[in-house]
Structure 1
């Protein structure tokens, strides 16, 4: 995959700035980009995204809209509570290596159902079966150390899970060189369902 992408359009700091500015436009009701077929057609010939954004599958968190980004600007990978598995990690590595993105952003969100269910499972000791159980197992380490009697436990765990996901990405061998050389930055964030604001944790 190395060498497919020959030039990076944005530095990590500039890419992060694009997402911060886009979120402000979104919150203030002044989006610059819409989703229409002319934009899709304009980027059909190729892409040079600046970021890969990892988010939850929650339907209330449409990441392209939240960051007011046009077609071709961000790659998006979504899984329940942005759980990292091999396909998600491979997708992030591809975005960095082949497409030259300079920012990997992990976006958790308030009232995340998967994290809340994990807190409940840890409290009760009743782990769900099947692949939902896999999600719970992957999220559960973020619940360690959280006061399960605290009503705010799910929100504390959501933040801890974002931080843990960021740390796991930073430790991924396929991303290490880019991070060490300053070509790639990995950042965490929390989306507020009520206000639309994204809080950047780094």
Structure 2
């Protein structure tokens, strides 16, 4: 039989754990401040996203008060990372990295292509706004990649898909089998090559980003998101 003392002690322990859980949740959901962001290195920013994706795939995402975060960030934003991703509805960066309002700068365009506007936005987010990390995020089963492989043409989309052609050529060097969108392995190879080339293109096109990387104030990586599992694999 459990004693009254046991129940009292159990209640005290449970109360302590609840207080700890609330404090931990509050810290995890606290909006980024200039001081907190200043203490984060590029590697820390990368670890933060990796941990967030692990929470996402393990179904252990943070439960934050988003309206409170809206209020907390109304006077300023201090994201530590930039994610350049595709417009695909299955790859929302804030969700797959378990980030919240004010946590990341998110730039999205079909095929996560790198163009002048994306580069300029990245320069703003890093040099002016202080982000420490850029992730060029590709994903599996990408429609834009498939369109580029098959030389699809449709209005202004034709020009966008042309920017993926270098990745098609790169993947074709060692590809085997059918080089069409029906070959899933080839589509994946092109998507991966596109993310890698996108990372390289950022510093090729921008002296600002290149100088930040050289000064170790910025890290640029590429990554691939699996739409079937939610898992993000980083290609550093």
Query: TM-score, normalization: structure 1?
Result: 0.90
Q: How many residues align?
A: 193
2:29 aligned partner: none
Query: TM-score, normalization: structure 2?
Result: 0.77
Does residue 176 of structure 1 match 2:201? Answer: no
Q: Which runs of 4+ in 1 moved over 6 A?
A: none
Note the alpha carbon deviations across 1:9-55, whole angstroms, 9 max, x for none: 41100000000000001111111144722221121111111001100
Paired residues for 1:14-53 under 5 Å: 14-34=44-64, 36-53=66-83
- Secondary structure class of the residue paired with 1:144: helix
- Secondary structure class of the residue paired with 1:130: coil
Structure 2 segments unaligned to the other structure (5+ residues): 1-33
2:101 to 54, 64, 71: 71
The answer as to whether partners of 1:8 and 1:102 remain within 8 angstroms in 2 is: no
2:166 to 128, 138, 141: 141
Structure 1 segments unaligned to the other structure (5+ residues): 122-126
RMSD: 1.7
**Greater relative contact order: 1 or 2 (C-alpha under 8 angstroms, separation 6 or more)?**
1
Deviation at 1:200, TM superposition (A): 0.3
Does residue 131 of structure 1 match 2:156? Answer: yes
2:124 aligned partner: 94
Return 141-150 or 52-61, whichever deviates more: 141-150
Tell me which protein shows more helix as a share of its residues: 2
CA distance in 2, matches of 1:184, 1:82: 20
Which structure is larger by alpha-carbon Rg, 1 or 2? 2
Deviation at 1:70, TM superposition (A): 2.1
